Structure 1
Amino acid sequence: MQDVNTTIVMDFVLLGFSSLHRLQNFVFGAVLMLYIICVLGNISIFLLVRIESSLHTPMYFFISIFAVLEIMFISVTAPKLLAIFIQTDNTILFYSCFSQSYAFNSLGQAECFLLCLMVFDRYLAINKPLRYSAIMNSRFCWKLSVLPWLLGFSIASFPTVNTFQSDFCGPNEINHFFCDSEQMSDLACSDQTVSKISSMVACFTSIILPFFAIVGFYIHIIYTVLKIKSKEGKMKAFSTCSSHLIVASLFYVSATVVYVKPKGSHYDKFLALVYTMAIPAVNPFIYALRNREVSNAFRKVSRQIVLQFQR
Protein backbone atom coordinates (compact mmCIF):
# COMPACT_ATOMS: atom_id res chain seq x y z
CA MET A 1 0.00 0.00 0.00
CA GLN A 2 1.27 3.45 -0.86
CA ASP A 3 2.09 5.77 2.04
CA VAL A 4 -0.22 8.74 2.26
CA ASN A 5 0.65 11.94 4.07
CA THR A 6 -1.93 12.31 6.82
CA THR A 7 -1.04 15.84 7.87
CA ILE A 8 -4.28 17.74 8.31
CA VAL A 9 -3.06 20.41 10.70
CA MET A 10 -3.04 23.80 8.96
CA ASP A 11 -1.92 25.84 11.95
CA PHE A 12 -0.83 25.56 15.55
CA VAL A 13 -2.23 27.23 18.65
CA LEU A 14 0.30 28.84 20.99
CA LEU A 15 -1.23 28.75 24.46
CA GLY A 16 1.36 31.21 25.75
CA PHE A 17 0.30 32.77 29.05
CA SER A 18 -3.45 32.55 28.43
CA SER A 19 -4.02 30.71 31.73
CA LEU A 20 -2.54 33.58 33.74
CA HIS A 21 -5.42 36.04 33.33
CA ARG A 22 -4.39 38.46 36.08
CA LEU A 23 -0.74 38.50 35.01
CA GLN A 24 -1.35 39.05 31.28
CA ASN A 25 -0.80 42.81 31.41
CA PHE A 26 2.27 42.42 33.60
CA VAL A 27 3.85 39.83 31.28
CA PHE A 28 3.02 41.97 28.22
CA GLY A 29 4.69 45.02 29.79
CA ALA A 30 7.73 42.96 30.86
CA VAL A 31 8.17 41.42 27.39
CA LEU A 32 7.80 44.79 25.65
CA MET A 33 10.29 46.43 28.01
CA LEU A 34 12.84 43.61 27.65
CA TYR A 35 12.50 43.65 23.86
CA ILE A 36 13.06 47.41 23.64
CA ILE A 37 16.02 47.29 26.07
CA CYS A 38 17.61 44.38 24.19
CA VAL A 39 17.27 45.98 20.75
CA LEU A 40 18.41 49.46 21.83
CA GLY A 41 21.21 48.12 24.04
CA ASN A 42 22.66 45.79 21.43
CA ILE A 43 22.33 48.37 18.65
CA SER A 44 24.26 50.79 20.88
CA ILE A 45 27.02 48.21 21.44
CA PHE A 46 27.19 47.46 17.70
CA LEU A 47 27.34 51.12 16.66
CA LEU A 48 29.83 51.96 19.41
CA VAL A 49 32.23 49.27 18.22
CA ARG A 50 31.87 50.47 14.64
CA ILE A 51 32.29 54.18 15.45
CA GLU A 52 35.02 54.18 18.11
CA SER A 53 38.45 53.35 16.70
CA SER A 54 39.80 52.22 20.09
CA LEU A 55 37.35 49.30 19.93
CA HIS A 56 38.52 48.10 16.52
CA THR A 57 40.02 44.90 17.91
CA PRO A 58 39.07 41.23 17.40
CA MET A 59 37.47 40.99 20.86
CA TYR A 60 35.07 43.87 20.25
CA PHE A 61 34.48 42.77 16.67
CA PHE A 62 33.10 39.47 17.98
CA ILE A 63 31.11 41.33 20.65
CA SER A 64 29.45 43.40 17.89
CA ILE A 65 28.58 40.19 16.00
CA PHE A 66 27.15 38.78 19.21
CA ALA A 67 25.03 41.95 19.62
CA VAL A 68 23.49 41.44 16.16
CA LEU A 69 22.85 37.79 16.97
CA GLU A 70 21.10 38.72 20.21
CA ILE A 71 18.76 41.14 18.42
CA MET A 72 17.81 38.46 15.89
CA PHE A 73 17.42 35.81 18.61
CA ILE A 74 14.93 37.81 20.68
CA SER A 75 13.12 39.03 17.54
CA VAL A 76 12.19 35.45 16.65
CA THR A 77 9.85 35.10 19.64
CA ALA A 78 9.04 38.54 21.12
CA PRO A 79 6.97 40.09 18.25
CA LYS A 80 4.65 37.07 17.99
CA LEU A 81 4.19 36.94 21.76
CA LEU A 82 3.35 40.65 21.85
CA ALA A 83 0.91 40.14 18.96
CA ILE A 84 -0.82 37.37 20.91
CA PHE A 85 -1.35 39.75 23.83
CA ILE A 86 -2.62 42.60 21.62
CA GLN A 87 -4.69 40.69 19.05
CA THR A 88 -5.63 37.75 21.28
CA ASP A 89 -4.98 35.60 18.20
CA ASN A 90 -2.71 32.81 19.33
CA THR A 91 -2.71 30.81 16.10
CA ILE A 92 0.34 30.49 13.89
CA LEU A 93 0.42 28.95 10.42
CA PHE A 94 1.94 25.49 10.00
CA TYR A 95 4.85 26.71 7.86
CA SER A 96 5.38 29.82 9.99
CA CYS A 97 5.65 27.68 13.11
CA PHE A 98 8.39 25.55 11.60
CA SER A 99 10.15 28.66 10.32
CA GLN A 100 10.10 30.17 13.81
CA SER A 101 11.35 26.93 15.36
CA TYR A 102 14.17 26.64 12.82
CA ALA A 103 15.24 30.27 13.27
CA PHE A 104 15.13 29.97 17.08
CA ASN A 105 17.22 26.79 17.17
CA SER A 106 19.65 28.03 14.51
CA LEU A 107 20.34 31.33 16.25
CA GLY A 108 20.57 29.68 19.67
CA GLN A 109 23.12 27.19 18.37
CA ALA A 110 25.01 29.96 16.56
CA GLU A 111 25.30 31.74 19.93
CA CYS A 112 26.91 28.66 21.45
CA PHE A 113 29.52 28.54 18.69
CA LEU A 114 30.11 32.29 18.86
CA LEU A 115 30.63 32.18 22.63
CA CYS A 116 33.19 29.44 22.03
CA LEU A 117 34.85 31.55 19.34
CA MET A 118 35.02 34.55 21.65
CA VAL A 119 36.82 32.60 24.40
CA PHE A 120 39.16 31.19 21.74
CA ASP A 121 40.07 34.78 20.91
CA ARG A 122 40.82 35.46 24.61
CA TYR A 123 42.82 32.23 24.79
CA LEU A 124 45.08 33.36 21.95
CA ALA A 125 45.43 36.87 23.41
CA ILE A 126 46.57 35.54 26.80
CA ASN A 127 48.41 32.35 25.85
CA LYS A 128 49.93 33.50 22.54
CA PRO A 129 50.41 37.27 23.04
CA LEU A 130 53.37 37.61 20.64
CA ARG A 131 51.59 35.84 17.77
CA TYR A 132 48.09 37.14 18.54
CA SER A 133 48.09 40.13 16.16
CA ALA A 134 49.46 38.05 13.31
CA ILE A 135 46.91 35.27 13.81
CA MET A 136 43.81 37.35 14.51
CA ASN A 137 44.08 39.68 11.54
CA SER A 138 41.02 41.34 10.04
CA ARG A 139 40.55 38.81 7.24
CA PHE A 140 40.80 35.83 9.58
CA CYS A 141 38.33 37.42 12.02
CA TRP A 142 35.75 37.85 9.25
CA LYS A 143 36.16 34.22 8.23
CA LEU A 144 35.76 33.07 11.83
CA SER A 145 32.67 35.24 12.33
CA VAL A 146 30.85 33.43 9.50
CA LEU A 147 31.50 30.01 11.04
CA PRO A 148 28.92 30.15 13.90
CA TRP A 149 26.17 31.17 11.48
CA LEU A 150 26.99 28.39 9.03
CA LEU A 151 27.21 25.75 11.74
CA GLY A 152 24.09 26.92 13.58
CA PHE A 153 21.82 27.06 10.53
CA SER A 154 23.24 23.84 9.07
CA ILE A 155 22.98 21.70 12.21
CA ALA A 156 19.49 22.96 13.12
CA SER A 157 18.17 22.05 9.67
CA PHE A 158 18.40 18.27 10.22
CA PRO A 159 15.97 17.90 13.18
CA THR A 160 13.71 20.61 11.72
CA VAL A 161 13.39 18.84 8.36
CA ASN A 162 12.82 15.47 10.03
CA THR A 163 10.04 16.90 12.19
CA PHE A 164 8.56 18.86 9.27
CA GLN A 165 8.22 15.66 7.24
CA SER A 166 6.19 14.04 10.02
CA ASP A 167 2.43 13.62 9.92
CA PHE A 168 0.33 15.98 12.05
CA CYS A 169 -3.27 14.89 12.42
CA GLY A 170 -4.12 16.70 15.67
CA PRO A 171 -4.10 17.99 18.36
CA ASN A 172 -2.38 21.24 17.44
CA GLU A 173 -1.97 23.07 20.77
CA ILE A 174 1.57 24.00 21.86
CA ASN A 175 1.80 24.84 25.56
CA HIS A 176 4.41 27.54 25.03
CA PHE A 177 4.77 31.10 23.75
CA PHE A 178 6.79 30.03 20.71
CA CYS A 179 7.04 26.96 18.48
CA ASP A 180 9.16 24.72 20.67
CA SER A 181 10.61 21.93 18.51
CA GLU A 182 10.29 19.29 21.24
CA GLN A 183 6.59 19.99 21.80
CA MET A 184 5.97 20.07 18.05
CA SER A 185 7.61 16.67 17.75
CA ASP A 186 5.35 15.33 20.53
CA LEU A 187 2.27 16.46 18.55
CA ALA A 188 3.21 14.39 15.51
CA CYS A 189 1.17 11.23 14.93
CA SER A 190 3.97 9.41 13.08
CA ASP A 191 7.10 7.78 14.46
CA GLN A 192 9.54 10.38 15.80
CA THR A 193 12.58 8.17 16.43
CA VAL A 194 14.69 9.70 13.66
CA SER A 195 13.61 13.22 14.60
CA LYS A 196 14.50 12.73 18.28
CA ILE A 197 17.85 11.15 17.45
CA SER A 198 18.74 14.02 15.10
CA SER A 199 17.70 16.50 17.82
CA MET A 200 19.98 14.81 20.36
CA VAL A 201 22.89 14.78 17.89
CA ALA A 202 22.30 18.47 17.09
CA CYS A 203 22.15 19.29 20.81
CA PHE A 204 25.39 17.44 21.52
CA THR A 205 27.19 18.98 18.55
CA SER A 206 26.10 22.59 18.99
CA ILE A 207 25.64 22.92 22.77
CA ILE A 208 27.58 20.25 24.67
CA LEU A 209 30.75 20.33 22.56
CA PRO A 210 31.08 24.16 22.61
CA PHE A 211 30.46 24.10 26.37
CA PHE A 212 33.33 21.69 27.00
CA ALA A 213 35.51 23.67 24.58
CA ILE A 214 34.77 26.86 26.55
CA VAL A 215 35.61 25.11 29.84
CA GLY A 216 38.82 23.76 28.32
CA PHE A 217 39.92 27.18 27.05
CA TYR A 218 39.21 28.78 30.43
CA ILE A 219 41.24 26.12 32.23
CA HIS A 220 44.21 26.97 29.97
CA ILE A 221 43.61 30.71 30.49
CA ILE A 222 43.46 30.39 34.28
CA TYR A 223 46.60 28.25 34.32
CA THR A 224 48.47 30.86 32.25
CA VAL A 225 47.19 33.80 34.32
CA LEU A 226 48.18 32.14 37.60
CA LYS A 227 51.76 31.96 36.32
CA ILE A 228 51.87 35.75 35.90
CA LYS A 229 53.88 37.13 38.82
CA SER A 230 52.50 40.66 39.08
CA LYS A 231 49.07 41.22 40.61
CA GLU A 232 48.31 43.95 38.08
CA GLY A 233 49.11 41.59 35.20
CA LYS A 234 46.75 38.98 36.59
CA MET A 235 43.95 41.50 37.08
CA LYS A 236 44.39 42.87 33.56
CA ALA A 237 44.30 39.39 32.02
CA PHE A 238 41.23 38.35 34.01
CA SER A 239 39.43 41.63 33.23
CA THR A 240 39.49 40.90 29.50
CA CYS A 241 37.60 37.64 30.15
CA SER A 242 35.20 38.66 32.93
CA SER A 243 32.39 39.96 30.70
CA HIS A 244 32.48 36.93 28.43
CA LEU A 245 32.59 34.57 31.42
CA ILE A 246 29.47 36.18 32.94
CA VAL A 247 27.57 36.15 29.62
CA ALA A 248 28.52 32.52 28.87
CA SER A 249 27.59 31.45 32.41
CA LEU A 250 24.18 33.14 32.23
CA PHE A 251 23.53 31.61 28.81
CA TYR A 252 24.40 28.04 29.76
CA VAL A 253 22.94 28.09 33.27
CA SER A 254 19.59 29.45 32.05
CA ALA A 255 19.51 27.06 29.08
CA THR A 256 20.32 24.11 31.36
CA VAL A 257 17.55 25.06 33.81
CA VAL A 258 15.03 25.33 30.96
CA TYR A 259 15.92 22.23 28.94
CA VAL A 260 17.55 19.78 31.34
CA LYS A 261 15.10 20.01 34.25
CA PRO A 262 12.01 17.73 34.17
CA LYS A 263 9.21 19.10 32.01
CA GLY A 264 5.73 19.97 33.12
CA SER A 265 6.45 22.61 35.74
CA HIS A 266 4.06 25.55 36.02
CA TYR A 267 7.07 27.83 35.76
CA ASP A 268 8.54 26.37 32.54
CA LYS A 269 7.37 29.26 30.36
CA PHE A 270 8.60 31.87 32.81
CA LEU A 271 12.01 30.21 32.89
CA ALA A 272 12.03 30.18 29.08
CA LEU A 273 11.12 33.88 29.18
CA VAL A 274 14.28 34.53 31.20
CA TYR A 275 16.41 32.52 28.78
CA THR A 276 14.98 33.96 25.57
CA MET A 277 14.41 37.60 26.56
CA ALA A 278 15.80 38.65 29.94
CA ILE A 279 19.35 37.38 29.32
CA PRO A 280 19.68 39.06 25.86
CA ALA A 281 18.44 42.33 27.43
CA VAL A 282 20.99 42.14 30.26
CA ASN A 283 24.03 41.27 28.12
CA PRO A 284 24.68 44.81 26.74
CA PHE A 285 24.86 46.15 30.30
CA ILE A 286 27.33 43.43 31.26
CA TYR A 287 29.65 44.42 28.42
CA ALA A 288 29.18 48.12 29.14
CA LEU A 289 29.47 48.08 32.93
CA ARG A 290 32.09 45.36 33.31
CA ASN A 291 34.41 46.73 30.63
CA ARG A 292 36.32 49.96 31.19
CA GLU A 293 37.18 50.41 27.50
CA VAL A 294 33.52 50.21 26.47
CA SER A 295 32.51 52.62 29.25
CA ASN A 296 35.20 55.12 28.23
CA ALA A 297 34.28 54.81 24.57
CA PHE A 298 30.59 55.33 25.38
CA ARG A 299 31.36 58.51 27.37
CA LYS A 300 33.63 59.77 24.59
CA VAL A 301 31.04 59.22 21.85
CA SER A 302 28.30 60.70 24.06
CA ARG A 303 30.34 63.88 24.58
CA GLN A 304 30.95 64.16 20.84
CA ILE A 305 27.22 63.81 20.13
CA VAL A 306 26.36 66.46 22.74
CA LEU A 307 28.95 68.85 21.25
CA GLN A 308 27.49 68.29 17.79
CA PHE A 309 24.01 69.25 19.01
CA GLN A 310 25.32 72.33 20.81
CA ARG A 311 26.91 73.75 17.66
Structure 2
Amino acid sequence: MKAIISCAVTGSIHTPSMSPALPVTPDEIAQQSIDAHRAGAAILHLHARDPRTGRPSGDPALFGEFLPKITAETDAVVNITTGGSTDMPIEDRLAAARAHAPELASLNMGSMNFVFDGAADRVTSWRHDWEEPYVRGSRDRIFANTFAQIERTVRELGDGLGVRFEFECYDVGHLYTLAHFADRGLVRPPLLVQAIFGVLGGIGADLDNFRHMATIADRLFGADHQLSCFAAGRHQMRFAIAAAIAGAHVRVGLEDSLYLERGRLATSNAEQVEKVVRILREVGREIATPAEVRAMLHLRGHREETE
Protein backbone atom coordinates (compact mmCIF):
# COMPACT_ATOMS: atom_id res chain seq x y z
CA MET A 1 0.00 0.00 0.00
CA LYS A 2 1.23 3.48 -0.82
CA ALA A 3 2.09 5.64 2.19
CA ILE A 4 0.12 8.78 3.02
CA ILE A 5 2.31 11.54 4.41
CA SER A 6 0.54 14.15 6.51
CA CYS A 7 2.30 17.33 7.58
CA ALA A 8 1.09 19.22 10.68
CA VAL A 9 2.44 22.65 9.86
CA THR A 10 2.22 24.74 13.04
CA GLY A 11 -0.17 23.33 15.66
CA SER A 12 -0.85 24.91 19.04
CA ILE A 13 1.73 23.43 21.41
CA HIS A 14 4.97 25.07 20.39
CA THR A 15 5.46 28.82 20.69
CA PRO A 16 7.53 31.31 18.67
CA SER A 17 10.28 31.41 21.32
CA MET A 18 10.98 27.69 20.84
CA SER A 19 12.06 27.81 17.18
CA PRO A 20 12.58 30.50 14.53
CA ALA A 21 11.26 28.02 11.94
CA LEU A 22 7.77 27.78 13.44
CA PRO A 23 5.39 29.47 10.96
CA VAL A 24 3.20 32.14 12.51
CA THR A 25 1.92 34.59 9.91
CA PRO A 26 -0.52 33.55 7.16
CA ASP A 27 2.21 33.98 4.55
CA GLU A 28 4.60 31.77 6.54
CA ILE A 29 1.95 29.10 7.08
CA ALA A 30 1.01 29.16 3.40
CA GLN A 31 4.59 28.96 2.12
CA GLN A 32 5.63 26.21 4.52
CA SER A 33 2.50 24.25 3.59
CA ILE A 34 3.22 24.61 -0.12
CA ASP A 35 6.85 23.57 0.37
CA ALA A 36 5.84 20.58 2.52
CA HIS A 37 3.43 19.43 -0.19
CA ARG A 38 6.11 19.76 -2.86
CA ALA A 39 8.41 17.68 -0.66
CA GLY A 40 5.85 14.84 -0.57
CA ALA A 41 3.07 15.60 1.93
CA ALA A 42 -0.36 14.77 0.50
CA ILE A 43 -2.31 16.01 3.55
CA LEU A 44 -1.73 19.39 5.22
CA HIS A 45 -3.01 19.54 8.82
CA LEU A 46 -3.60 23.22 9.52
CA HIS A 47 -3.95 25.53 12.53
CA ALA A 48 -3.87 29.33 12.54
CA ARG A 49 -2.03 31.82 14.74
CA ASP A 50 -2.34 35.48 15.59
CA PRO A 51 0.31 36.95 13.27
CA ARG A 52 1.32 39.59 15.85
CA THR A 53 1.93 37.30 18.80
CA GLY A 54 1.98 33.75 17.44
CA ARG A 55 -0.77 32.66 19.82
CA PRO A 56 -3.02 29.85 18.47
CA SER A 57 -6.27 31.19 17.04
CA GLY A 58 -9.48 29.68 15.74
CA ASP A 59 -10.44 32.80 13.79
CA PRO A 60 -11.82 31.71 10.39
CA ALA A 61 -10.59 34.97 8.87
CA LEU A 62 -6.99 34.02 9.63
CA PHE A 63 -7.50 30.64 7.96
CA GLY A 64 -8.97 32.56 5.04
CA GLU A 65 -5.67 34.40 4.61
CA PHE A 66 -3.65 31.26 3.89
CA LEU A 67 -6.11 28.65 2.56
CA PRO A 68 -6.59 30.29 -0.87
CA LYS A 69 -2.82 30.42 -1.42
CA ILE A 70 -2.44 26.76 -0.54
CA THR A 71 -5.29 25.56 -2.73
CA ALA A 72 -4.18 27.79 -5.61
CA GLU A 73 -0.64 26.36 -5.65
CA THR A 74 -1.17 22.73 -4.59
CA ASP A 75 -3.66 19.90 -4.93
CA ALA A 76 -2.96 18.84 -1.33
CA VAL A 77 -5.73 17.59 0.91
CA VAL A 78 -6.55 20.42 3.33
CA ASN A 79 -7.17 19.17 6.86
CA ILE A 80 -8.42 21.87 9.24
CA THR A 81 -8.10 21.29 12.97
CA THR A 82 -11.10 21.06 15.27
CA GLY A 83 -8.72 20.56 18.20
CA GLY A 84 -7.62 24.19 18.13
CA SER A 85 -5.76 24.44 21.41
CA THR A 86 -6.30 22.97 24.85
CA ASP A 87 -7.62 26.27 26.24
CA MET A 88 -9.95 27.07 23.33
CA PRO A 89 -13.74 26.72 23.72
CA ILE A 90 -15.53 24.33 21.38
CA GLU A 91 -17.21 27.15 19.44
CA ASP A 92 -13.82 28.57 18.51
CA ARG A 93 -12.45 25.12 17.71
CA LEU A 94 -15.21 24.42 15.19
CA ALA A 95 -15.40 27.90 13.65
CA ALA A 96 -12.77 27.55 10.91
CA ALA A 97 -13.91 24.14 9.67
CA ARG A 98 -17.53 25.32 9.72
CA ALA A 99 -16.64 28.44 7.72
CA HIS A 100 -14.32 26.84 5.16
CA ALA A 101 -15.81 23.30 4.85
CA PRO A 102 -12.56 21.42 4.12
CA GLU A 103 -12.63 17.91 2.73
CA LEU A 104 -10.90 16.69 5.91
CA ALA A 105 -10.84 17.85 9.54
CA SER A 106 -9.19 16.47 12.64
CA LEU A 107 -11.39 15.06 15.42
CA ASN A 108 -10.00 14.19 18.86
CA MET A 109 -11.60 11.05 20.25
CA GLY A 110 -11.51 11.70 23.99
CA SER A 111 -11.00 14.14 26.84
CA MET A 112 -7.56 13.96 28.41
CA ASN A 113 -4.76 15.60 30.31
CA PHE A 114 -2.58 17.13 27.59
CA VAL A 115 0.57 18.32 29.32
CA PHE A 116 3.50 20.03 27.61
CA ASP A 117 4.84 22.24 30.39
CA GLY A 118 8.25 20.56 30.22
CA ALA A 119 8.92 22.45 26.99
CA ALA A 120 9.12 25.68 29.02
CA ASP A 121 12.25 24.48 30.80
CA ARG A 122 14.19 24.57 27.54
CA VAL A 123 13.37 28.22 26.77
CA THR A 124 15.79 30.83 28.07
CA SER A 125 14.04 33.94 26.74
CA TRP A 126 10.37 34.46 25.89
CA ARG A 127 9.37 36.72 23.01
CA HIS A 128 5.73 37.22 24.08
CA ASP A 129 4.05 37.56 27.47
CA TRP A 130 1.44 34.86 26.76
CA GLU A 131 3.87 32.05 25.99
CA GLU A 132 5.24 30.91 29.36
CA PRO A 133 1.88 30.97 31.25
CA TYR A 134 0.25 29.11 28.35
CA VAL A 135 2.88 26.37 28.26
CA ARG A 136 3.24 25.95 32.03
CA GLY A 137 -0.52 26.17 32.45
CA SER A 138 -1.03 22.95 30.51
CA ARG A 139 -0.47 21.10 33.82
CA ASP A 140 -3.83 22.39 35.05
CA ARG A 141 -6.01 22.06 31.95
CA ILE A 142 -8.22 19.28 30.69
CA PHE A 143 -8.47 18.98 26.92
CA ALA A 144 -12.21 18.42 26.64
CA ASN A 145 -13.57 16.15 23.90
CA THR A 146 -16.80 14.83 25.37
CA PHE A 147 -19.11 12.40 23.58
CA ALA A 148 -21.56 15.26 23.10
CA GLN A 149 -18.85 17.43 21.52
CA ILE A 150 -17.70 14.60 19.26
CA GLU A 151 -21.26 13.93 18.10
CA ARG A 152 -21.87 17.63 17.51
CA THR A 153 -18.71 17.87 15.39
CA VAL A 154 -19.67 14.84 13.33
CA ARG A 155 -23.21 16.06 12.74
CA GLU A 156 -22.34 19.71 11.97
CA LEU A 157 -19.29 19.12 9.81
CA GLY A 158 -19.78 15.58 8.53
CA ASP A 159 -23.52 15.38 7.96
CA GLY A 160 -23.95 19.09 7.38
CA LEU A 161 -20.97 19.96 5.19
CA GLY A 162 -19.62 16.67 3.83
CA VAL A 163 -16.37 16.91 5.80
CA ARG A 164 -14.55 13.65 6.58
CA PHE A 165 -12.25 13.18 9.55
CA GLU A 166 -8.77 12.35 10.74
CA PHE A 167 -9.68 10.58 13.99
CA GLU A 168 -6.97 11.44 16.52
CA CYS A 169 -6.54 8.65 19.09
CA TYR A 170 -4.19 9.35 21.98
CA ASP A 171 -4.88 6.09 23.81
CA VAL A 172 -6.45 2.68 23.31
CA GLY A 173 -9.74 3.84 24.83
CA HIS A 174 -10.05 6.40 22.03
CA LEU A 175 -10.14 3.56 19.51
CA TYR A 176 -13.10 2.06 21.35
CA THR A 177 -14.78 5.46 21.41
CA LEU A 178 -14.38 5.64 17.64
CA ALA A 179 -15.82 2.13 17.35
CA HIS A 180 -18.81 3.27 19.42
CA PHE A 181 -19.55 6.09 16.98
CA ALA A 182 -18.99 3.78 14.01
CA ASP A 183 -21.37 1.18 15.48
CA ARG A 184 -24.01 3.90 15.83
CA GLY A 185 -23.55 4.81 12.18
CA LEU A 186 -22.47 8.36 13.00
CA VAL A 187 -19.08 7.94 11.33
CA ARG A 188 -18.67 5.93 8.19
CA PRO A 189 -15.71 4.08 6.65
CA PRO A 190 -13.11 4.31 5.41
CA LEU A 191 -11.73 5.72 8.67
CA LEU A 192 -8.41 7.59 8.86
CA VAL A 193 -7.20 6.56 12.33
CA GLN A 194 -4.32 8.70 13.60
CA ALA A 195 -2.61 6.96 16.53
CA ILE A 196 -0.65 9.46 18.62
CA PHE A 197 2.13 8.62 21.05
CA GLY A 198 4.27 10.47 23.57
CA VAL A 199 1.93 13.25 24.71
CA LEU A 200 2.00 13.37 28.53
CA GLY A 201 -1.49 12.28 29.54
CA GLY A 202 -1.87 9.92 26.58
CA ILE A 203 -0.28 6.62 25.63
CA GLY A 204 3.50 6.54 25.89
CA ALA A 205 6.02 6.49 23.06
CA ASP A 206 6.83 2.80 23.40
CA LEU A 207 6.90 0.77 20.19
CA ASP A 208 5.01 -2.01 21.95
CA ASN A 209 2.18 0.51 22.32
CA PHE A 210 2.25 1.15 18.59
CA ARG A 211 1.94 -2.55 17.89
CA HIS A 212 -0.91 -2.83 20.41
CA MET A 213 -2.79 0.16 18.96
CA ALA A 214 -2.37 -1.28 15.45
CA THR A 215 -3.67 -4.67 16.62
CA ILE A 216 -6.73 -3.20 18.34
CA ALA A 217 -7.49 -0.89 15.40
CA ASP A 218 -7.34 -3.86 13.04
CA ARG A 219 -9.59 -5.90 15.34
CA LEU A 220 -12.16 -3.10 15.63
CA PHE A 221 -12.15 -1.75 12.08
CA GLY A 222 -10.50 -4.31 9.81
CA ALA A 223 -10.50 -3.28 6.17
CA ASP A 224 -12.61 -0.22 7.03
CA HIS A 225 -9.65 1.85 8.25
CA GLN A 226 -6.34 3.36 7.24
CA LEU A 227 -3.87 3.56 10.14
CA SER A 228 -1.49 6.46 10.46
CA CYS A 229 0.71 7.34 13.39
CA PHE A 230 3.06 9.90 14.84
CA ALA A 231 4.92 10.47 18.07
CA ALA A 232 5.66 13.77 19.77
CA GLY A 233 9.05 15.38 20.17
CA ARG A 234 12.20 13.28 20.09
CA HIS A 235 10.21 10.14 19.25
CA GLN A 236 8.95 11.49 15.91
CA MET A 237 11.29 9.79 13.45
CA ARG A 238 11.56 6.51 15.39
CA PHE A 239 7.81 6.07 15.09
CA ALA A 240 7.89 7.15 11.45
CA ILE A 241 10.31 4.29 10.80
CA ALA A 242 8.08 1.83 12.68
CA ALA A 243 5.02 2.97 10.73
CA ALA A 244 6.89 2.73 7.45
CA ILE A 245 7.97 -0.85 8.14
CA ALA A 246 4.51 -1.86 9.41
CA GLY A 247 2.75 -0.58 6.30
CA ALA A 248 1.02 2.28 8.11
CA HIS A 249 0.87 5.93 7.12
CA VAL A 250 2.93 8.69 8.74
CA ARG A 251 2.62 12.24 9.99
CA VAL A 252 5.41 14.72 10.62
CA GLY A 253 5.56 18.49 11.02
CA LEU A 254 6.58 21.28 13.37
CA GLU A 255 3.34 20.84 15.33
CA ASP A 256 4.64 17.47 16.52
CA SER A 257 8.39 18.10 16.80
CA LEU A 258 10.63 21.10 16.25
CA TYR A 259 13.66 18.93 15.53
CA LEU A 260 15.03 17.06 12.55
CA GLU A 261 17.33 14.93 14.71
CA ARG A 262 18.76 14.98 18.21
CA GLY A 263 20.12 18.46 18.98
CA ARG A 264 19.26 19.91 15.55
CA LEU A 265 16.21 22.08 15.01
CA ALA A 266 14.41 21.56 11.71
CA THR A 267 14.65 24.55 9.42
CA SER A 268 11.17 23.94 7.99
CA ASN A 269 8.30 21.49 7.73
CA ALA A 270 9.55 20.51 4.29
CA GLU A 271 12.86 19.35 5.77
CA GLN A 272 10.99 16.86 7.98
CA VAL A 273 8.87 15.71 5.05
CA GLU A 274 11.95 15.17 2.90
CA LYS A 275 13.49 13.02 5.64
CA VAL A 276 10.41 10.83 6.04
CA VAL A 277 10.16 10.42 2.26
CA ARG A 278 13.72 9.02 2.32
CA ILE A 279 12.78 6.67 5.18
CA LEU A 280 9.71 5.39 3.37
CA ARG A 281 11.57 4.81 0.13
CA GLU A 282 14.40 3.02 1.93
CA VAL A 283 11.91 0.40 3.14
CA GLY A 284 10.30 0.08 -0.28
CA ARG A 285 7.20 2.22 0.24
CA GLU A 286 5.79 4.41 -2.52
CA ILE A 287 4.38 7.82 -1.63
CA ALA A 288 0.67 8.44 -2.20
CA THR A 289 -0.40 11.43 -4.24
CA PRO A 290 -3.32 13.64 -3.13
CA ALA A 291 -5.50 12.03 -5.81
CA GLU A 292 -4.67 8.58 -4.44
CA VAL A 293 -5.39 9.76 -0.90
CA ARG A 294 -8.79 11.08 -1.97
CA ALA A 295 -9.60 7.70 -3.47
CA MET A 296 -8.41 5.82 -0.35
CA LEU A 297 -10.39 8.00 2.07
CA HIS A 298 -13.40 8.77 -0.15
CA LEU A 299 -12.79 12.51 -0.01
CA ARG A 300 -14.70 14.91 -2.21
CA GLY A 301 -11.85 17.20 -3.28
CA HIS A 302 -11.52 20.95 -3.01
CA ARG A 303 -14.61 23.06 -2.56
CA GLU A 304 -15.12 26.70 -3.40
CA GLU A 305 -15.14 27.68 0.29
CA THR A 306 -11.43 26.92 0.64
CA GLU A 307 -10.38 28.69 -2.53
Over alpha carbons, which structure has the higher Rg? Answer: 1
Q: TM-score range by the shorter chain?
A: under 0.3
What TM-score results when the alignment is normalised by the length of structure 2?
Answer: 0.27
Specify which structure has the higher proportion of helix: 1
Between Structure 1 and Structure 2, the one with more strand by share is 2
TM-score normalised per structure 1: 0.27
